[in-house]
Structure 1
Amino acid sequence: MSDHTDVYLDHNATTPIAREVADAMWPYLTEHFGNPSSASSQGRTARAAVDLAREQVAQLIAAHPDEVVFTSGGTESNNLAIRGSAAVATPHVAVTSQIEHPATVEPLAHIATQHGWAVHELPVDTECRVRLDEFPSGRVGLGTLILAHNETGAIQPVAEFAARVHSAGGVVNADAAQSVGKIPVAVDDLDVDLLSIAGHKLYGPKGVGALYVRRGTGLTPVMRGGGQEGGIRPGTEDVASIVGLGTAAELAAGLLVSEADRQSDLRDLLWDRLAAAVAGLVRVSPVEGCLPNTLMVAVPGRLGAQLLESMSGLSASTGSACHAGTHTPSAALLAMGIDHATALGALRLTLGRGTTRDEIDHAAAAIVEAVRAS
């Protein structure tokens, strides 16, 4: 690997489009341009492609094809799940966690402020796992929980959460944008009614996603228009992107086990290298029950953002945000009980299918050098 080559350890932010995905999409960007709602031959070709993609996505999550609704991505899927089910659910009580993605937090805030819902946020433990012993008593209308945390990689007890929500009379949504394609996801095993998927998190294109809607689940459309996607998500389907998502889903199914093993081995190697060289380094990601590609660490007394800026040839993320020069630590890390100063030193290192051992060596050396120089 040449010195100027960038090592990309930011796969939880987005993944590159797989070559097989791009190849599958190309004909639908060029010659097969039909509207899938049209009765023309071009339209029938497009409809067949959408139908196949629906089957591919359904197979990846062990669902029925008619339970898959195509959307523009994880954010729309979560909005449709939360706002669409809230429109028909009672009572107006929702249960979630303190570590949700904004794609869940904001729709919940909307139903709270606009429709009078009470939102109960469950705390998490020191491993970033939701504490179900804090589940409220009484009836609920909706429960929504992230399946695997986008920063720490901690996999949540969604099936146990779903059992509690169902016992309390509610509908269950899982934000699986960061999980599908990385770990096995089966909707019946999770016992969820709704589940969100984002194409660009599993080597598909940006701007496309899906929402699993269990048969019989009440859902009101958020947008109004034509009758596409079973009347749940109007608008002419983006056939090329949907084909890409379907291909990405099929590809992920075939690589799930081998890539999980390979990436987790490399992730553990990266941790071993860093822990041996950086005194006091904190492993934020849990050792067990974690996405195989995700390693979040924290360097006490340092700013993760400054460390990243000083590294040459490494793309990664931090656990903090910067607004007007002021650094704010990740709310999830604070919820875990990590102190403010340590949380500011967080680095999220997320591997992918293209990550090699040489790149892990390069990344470890770059991080260690940046810490020592800071």
Structure 2
Amino acid sequence: MKSPIYLDNQATTPLAPEVFDAMVPWLKDHFGNPHSAHKLGRQTAAIIDVAREQLAVLLPEQGNVIFTGSATEAINLGFGAIYQQLKRGRNEIIVLETEHAAVRDTAKSYAKIGFEVAFVPVDSNGIVSLEALKSLASSKTALIAAMLVNNEIGVIQPVEAIAELAHLHGALMLCDAVQGYGRVAIPDNVDMIAISGHKIYGPKGIGALWTRAGLELPTLIHGGGQEKGVRSGTLSPALCVGFGKAAELCNSNLTKDMAHIEKLSDYARELFGDWLVNGAIDRRYPGNLNLRKNGLDVGRLMSDVRDVAFSAGSACASGSGRPSHVLTALRLEPAEVRSSIRLGFGRYTTMDEIEQAANMINSAAKAQLL
């Protein structure tokens, strides 16, 4: 059976062939526990250190890479840094309104134990208001969390300026760089960065948290203290190797990948010329194109266009059917939110696939709106 044209690279990316090849030996032959002292253990521990270094190349200097089971876990781990801030009398958390649920819901969980949580609005382009952020930040602020590249609309936030503001008030800055890592430069003045393997053509089931040197984190998973003393459990050498190889490929292909993505995006914008773009036009990652055509029923559209894998712009990640909090934050009307789709282009997307997908989506939309 023919696979659908894949245009959902914000949800996940296909595994790079080079990553698969790099992982196989560590699934089959090199099965040692990386935390064992014998030769097999030392071999796997060494390859994990190599992977850690491969990830670090695309991250700021003077920091530590902690492997986790996902970026969501990395974000939860990073939030724990606020306990040290609490000892300094800081109990406020500031989060952008358009953050991923991993950040929003983690922040809300701290509200249940006495932290004050404020959500900062964005403008109609999806960019945070720095003035609004300045009005909220204070000597009580423990942490400011901001996503580098938004997963729904692709806009790039002024993370460097946000980190500067956080530090001005003595707060920490946590950056969800899941959609930006390996694609967009990460400012070096942040304190923590969460990344994910399967968003950069690597394996699922692994993420990482980068922390600035000297930053203290409480233990997230108790046990043997294997990963930097904060996350217990045996690491998977294969997953670490795959993540590291994916990062290496992103680094070596950075210019080539971006040129390809920009070409795909420009062509898609041309083919979807009568659709409206959600989010900023100039300050966005071009591999994410969030579009709307007023009056469209996107649920019906997705049913009619089953040979293209793309995302509805109106449902949150949980699949609850509630309107997207990101598109709602842009001040779109509910009907406009429900008429939005997200197209995600990647390293393996072709121009021919863009053309075929556009023909199918536009034809189905036209038939629906007649």
Distance in 1 between residues matched to 2:84 and 2:345, nearest whole Å:
40
Q: Which residue matches 2:69?
A: 72
SS at match of 1:78: helix
Q: Which residue matches 1:198?
A: 196
Q: Tell me if 1:86 matches 2:79.
A: no
- Contact 2:54 / 2:247 at 8 angstroms: preserved in 1? yes
Q: Tell me if 1:332 matches 2:332.
A: no
Q: For residue 30 of structure 1, what is the amino acid of its counterpart?
A: K
Of residues 258, 262, 280 in structure 2, which corresponds to 1:286?
A: 280
TM-score by length of 2: 0.94
Q: Tell me if 1:346 matches 2:343.
A: no
Q: Compute the displacement of 1:63 (Å).
A: 3.2
Q: Which residue matches 2:363?
A: 369
Q: Tell me if 1:138 matches 2:135.
A: no
Q: Which residue matches 2:38?
A: 40
Distance in 1 between residues matched to 2:103 and 2:131, nearest whole Å:
22
Offset from partner CA, 1:118-144 (integer Å, 9 cap, x none): 111110011111111102142211111
Offset from partner CA, 1:263-293 (integer Å, 9 cap, x none): 1121121111111xx4xx2111422121121
- Contact 1:153 / 1:290 at 8 angstroms: preserved in 2? yes
Q: Compute the displacement of 1:205 (Å).
A: 0.3
Of residues 44, 47, 50 in structure 2, which corresponds to 1:49?
A: 47
Q: Compute the displacement of 1:196 (Å).
A: 0.2
Q: Which residue matches 2:205?
A: 207
SS at match of 2:322: strand
Distance in 2 between residues matched to 1:226 and 1:322, nearest whole Å:
36
Offset from partner CA, 1:182-226 (integer Å, 9 cap, x none): 2233x51xx111000000000000000110011011211221111
Gaps spanning 5+ residues in structure 2: where?
none
Offset from partner CA, 1:94-115 (integer Å, 9 cap, x none): 11111011111111111111x2
SS at match of 2:74: helix
Distance in 1 between residues matched to 2:220 and 2:228, nearest whole Å:
13
Gaps spanning 5+ residues in structure 1: where?
none
Q: Which residue matches 1:99?
A: 98
Q: Compute the displacement of 1:322 (Å).
A: 8.3
Distance in 1 between residues matched to 2:245 and 2:309, nearest whole Å:
27
Q: Which residue matches 1:300?
A: 294
Q: Which residue matches 2:61?
A: 63
- Contact 1:182 / 1:292 at 8 angstroms: preserved in 2? no
Q: Tell me if 1:267 matches 2:268.
A: no
SS at match of 1:96: strand
Q: For residue 94 of structure 2, what is the amino acid of its counterpart?
A: V
Q: Compute the displacement of 1:229 (Å).
A: 1.8
Q: For residue 325 of structure 2, what is the amino acid of its counterpart?
A: A
SS at match of 1:103: helix
Offset from partner CA, 1:294-343 (integer Å, 9 cap, x none): 100011111222211111410000112289x9953211111111111111
Q: Percent identity?
A: 37
Of residues 349, 354, 359 in structure 2, which corresponds to 1:360?
A: 354
1:230-269 equivalences under 5 Å are: 230-269=228-267
Distance in 2 between residues matched to 1:322 and 1:303, nearest whole Å:
16
Aligned residue pairs, count:
361
Q: Compute the displacement of 1:86 (Å).
A: 2.1
Q: Compute the displacement of 1:7 (Å).
A: 0.9
Q: Which residue matches 2:110?
A: 111
Q: Compute the displacement of 1:50 (Å).
A: 0.4
TM-score by length of 1: 0.93
Q: Tell me if 1:9 matches 2:7.
A: yes
* CA RMSD across the alignment: 1.7
Distance in 1 between residues matched to 2:234 and 2:69, nearest whole Å:
11
SS at match of 1:364: helix
The alpha-carbon distance between structure 1 residues 373 and 4, as it changes in their structure 2 partners (threshold 3 A), is farther
Offset from partner CA, 1:35-72 (integer Å, 9 cap, x none): 111111100110011000000000122435x6000001
- Contact 2:314 / 2:324 at 8 angstroms: preserved in 1? yes
Q: Which residue matches 2:127?
A: 129
Of residues 17, 20, 27 in structure 1, which corresponds to 2:18?
A: 20
SS at match of 1:250: helix
Question: After alignment, is 235-244 or 314-323 more displaced?
Answer: 314-323
- Contact 2:67 / 2:206 at 8 angstroms: preserved in 1? yes
Distance in 2 between residues matched to 1:370 and 1:37, nearest whole Å:
55
Distance in 1 between residues matched to 2:137 and 2:17, nearest whole Å:
50
Q: Compute the displacement of 1:227 (Å).
A: 2.0
Question: After alignment, is 168-177 or 216-225 more displaced?
Answer: 216-225
